[in-house]
Amino acid sequence: MKDVYILAVESSCDDTSAAVLRNQCVLSNVLTSQKIHEQYGGVVPELASRAHQANIVPVVNQALDQAGIDLSKIDAVAFTAFPGLLGSLLVGSSFVKGLALSLNKPVLAIDHMQAHMMALFIDEEHTQPKKPSFPFICLTVSGGHTQISIVRDFTQIQIIGKTKDDAVGEAFDKIAKLLGLPYPGGPLIDQIAREGNPLAFHFSESNMENLDFSFSGIKTSVLYFLEEKVKEDPDFIKKNLADICASAQYALVNMLLKKIKKASVTTGIREIAVVGGVSANSWLRSQLENMAQKSHWNTYFPKLQFCTDNAAMIGVSAYFKMKGQSDEINDMFVVPRSR
Ligand code: KG4
Ligand code: ZN
């Protein structure tokens, strides 16, 4: 297959992103985070759609400029089709479909969850990350999803466990909100926890059967704990913030690690990957490395900038989709679906 240039757009939640790739190599990956949601403690869907409308043209232009690629050189355009916020998805899909029609190029509709996994296969000019070999176990941890899968090849993905309630990123964000931290709280908890003692407080961990997860209980356990402590000392949170963050993070990460271990033992697979926004978490990364040494696993994470939502992962998924199908692909009629 000759070199293909792909323009990709990701607009499923609160980040507008565009990327240009040559095959699986990213040439540019531009991202605008919407600050407007911070004051509401979570993403407001209508505001997110409006911000995507305002951002999409400048972000795409910037991605083309940074890649040094003219629109006429683009062979295909890709967008996130699902899951996500419907209004936000529609901005990306309408823009990309209009652009593809005007360029007379194929459109590729990409599954956001699959794209998080494909982030493991993004190359950069002069750097190629260590990649997992098939089959591998993949834990996908984001703001909307928590699932564990066996990835047999680029298209054969079997989900073997998932959350029964909140996603782990959502649990990080909700606990952060209880502590008075702005949205998204996950990266802040990660940062503040570095100064704290993970064993200072005990938060009960859920113990779901099989490979499923549950994260709503720990949020309630943190809530009751804080209510009680703040009654005794109104400054309790301020005085103990780092220890609370470290202890809550310890419990959340433990729940993830236990399921990875169980998945590896039951399947016999020792290639272990973690992807999605929460895979940027430094405690999760270091604890998994420790476990991997003891259990003789090979572990893989996307580079930090490809963990949270980004268009490069949409582009690389589009590349593998094109490579896997000899007939011309055109997903023009794929309709976005919400979460
Ligand atoms: O994958 P992502 O960017 O968006 C979704 O598809 O949902 O994930 C966003 C989630 C948020 O909940 C955010 O708080 C969490 O990932 N997150 C983190 C870290 N960085 C992002 N959680 C814990 N530690 C981090 N360093
Ligand atoms: Zn995501």
pLDDT in tens, 325-337: 756 678 888 888 8
Which of 138, 139, 278 for a ligand 1 pocket mutation test, highest count of atoms within 8 Å of Cβ? 278
Q: What is the spatial distance between Cα 310 and Cα 37, in angstroms, rounded to a whole number?
A: 18
CA neighbor of 117 nearest in space, from 136, 138, 135, 134: 138
Contact 106, 330 (CB under 8 A): yes
Task: Give CA separation, 231 vs 8, 263, 280, 321, in Å.
Answer: 51, 42, 35, 56
| pLDDT > 90 fraction of the chain, expressed in percent and rounded | 86
| Other beta carbons less than 10 A from residue 115's beta carbon | 26
Within 8 A by CB and 6+ apart from 220, the residues are none
Write down the H helix ranges in 186-269.
186-193, 216-232, 236-267
pLDDT band per the 50, 70, 90 thresholds, residue 121: very high
pTM above threshold 0.75: yes
Nearest ligand 1 atom to the CA of 84 is 6
Amino acid at 71: L
Q: Which residues have C-beta atoms less than 6 Å from ligand 1?
A: 13, 142-144, 169, 172-173, 184-187, 190, 276-278, 280-281, 308-309
User: In the prediction, which pLDDT does 326 show?
Assistant: 55
More confident residue, 183 or 261: 261
pLDDT band per the 50, 70, 90 thresholds, residue 39: confident
Nearest ligand 1 atom to the CA of 12 is 6
Q: How many angstroms is it from 144 CA to the middle of ligand 1?
A: 9
Over range 269-280, report the average pLDDT: 98
Nearest ligand 1 atom to the CA of 176 is 14
Over range 23-32, report the average pLDDT: 97
Note the pLDDT tens digit of each residue in 182-192: 989 999 999 99
pLDDT band per the 50, 70, 90 thresholds, residue 131: very high
